[in-house]
């Protein structure tokens, strides 16, 4: 990995980690940011993709590096849903 790519990838990884953790705390803005950054990751990872896991066509497929972006999106969404479910349960129990 060259220096230019590292300058782009390392801050992106940090931003992905921060937005995923914050979205798991129930922050909807951070959820949207994590999902947007996950899409950016899918475009940036092309220089170090790794082996193709599933081939969709001659030029397109799912690679190992894509799994990270998908994992971030799933973790952010699931964390956000769980946080809202916990808040709803807490609100419901406080009303009783």
Contact at 8 Å (CB) between 34 and 76?
Answer: yes
Q: What average pLDDT does the chain have?
A: 85
List of residues 6+ apart from 94 with CB closer than 8 A: none
- 1 pLDDT band, cuts 50/70/90, is low
Q: Which residues of 30-41 are buried (b: 16+ CB within 10 A; e: fewer)?
A: bbebbbebbeeb
Residue whose tokens read 């082996």: 51
pLDDT of residue 55: 92
Q: What is the Cα–Cα distance from 22 to 79, expressed in whole angstroms?
A: 9
* Residues 5-13, mean pLDDT to the nearest whole number: 82
């Amino acid at each position: 990995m060259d220096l230019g790519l590292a300058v782009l990838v390392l801050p992106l990884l940090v931003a992905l980690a921060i937005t995923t953790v914050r979205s798991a705390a129930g922050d909807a803005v951070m959820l949207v940011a994590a999902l947007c950054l996950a899409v950016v990751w899918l475009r940036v990872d092309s220089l170090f993709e790794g082996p193709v896991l599933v081939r969709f066509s001659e030029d397109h497929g799912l690679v190992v590096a894509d799994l990270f972006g998908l994992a971030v999106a799933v973790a952010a969404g699931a964390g956000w849903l769980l946080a809202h479910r916990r808040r709803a349960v807490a609100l419901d129990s406080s009303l009783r």
